Amino acid sequence: MEVSVLFSGGKDSSLAAVILSALPYFSKKSREGSTFFEVELVTCSFGVLSNWKQAEKVAKKLGFPFRVLKLKKEILNEAARQVIKDGFPNNGIKYIHQKALEAVAKKSEIIADGIRRDDRVPVLSLAEIRRLEDKFDVHYIQPLMGYSRKTIDLLVKQFFIVKEYKSTSFFKGAEYEFELREIIRKGYGIRKIKEIFPKNHSHSIVKEVKSRG
């Protein structure tokens, strides 16, 4: 049974993938033995930056198959308009995440992401989650939803060596924020970026994977 995990190369989506890949799954053919969930990593790109390559590098280290899912640039433009209107990035990023989930759901039976219990963005409401599952007849798993930041940190240390970056360093991961910032910079100027995006937000990239034993 295959599960498609939305993947940025950061510690959360990497941990989500590892947790799912540890789940045994009994194949229909042979009730005796069992295989495990087969994880496929999916990184979305609007073609504005090539930061998906960073995610691809991490995917190789994790040892999971990887693919890039091209999303329509109109989605990014709409998210940028939303962010400019709001004066803060949350709703725009959530909009991108919803569209990414929908795009993956079209071709997969089980989809997943690295959203945590303590995340504020991009968190879907329970109603939105159910709508997605019903509309696309898909299983949507958020493997980290029942874990606190403290517990995630404990587990991440088990598996990965991680580097944390400030959001101002571009190209260091495949979070939606990077292409969103780039298109806002192009369309509205660098000043808007400074106005809108929080300065002290940091993100992570997995640099090394410890032996998975």
Binding site for a second copy (CB under 8 A): 19, 22-26, 31-35, 110, 115, 117-118, 126, 129-130, 133, 139-148, 150-151, 154-155, 158-159, 210-213
Rounded to the nearest 5 percent, the helix, strand and coil shares of the chain are 45, 20, 35
DSSP state, 107?
T
CB of 175 to a second copy, least distance (A): 20
DSSP state, 124?
P
Element (H, E) at 75: helix 73-86
Q: Which is nearer to a second copy, 50 or 158 (CB)?
A: 158
Q: Which is nearer to a second copy, 78 or 133 (CB)?
A: 133
Where do we find the tokens 């007849």?
Answer: 137
CB 173 within 8 A of CB 182: no
CB of 16 to a second copy, least distance (A): 9
CB 104 within 8 A of CB 70: no
Q: Which is nearer to a second copy, 83 or 144 (CB)?
A: 144
CB of 158 to a second copy, least distance (A): 5
CB of 148 to a second copy, least distance (A): 6
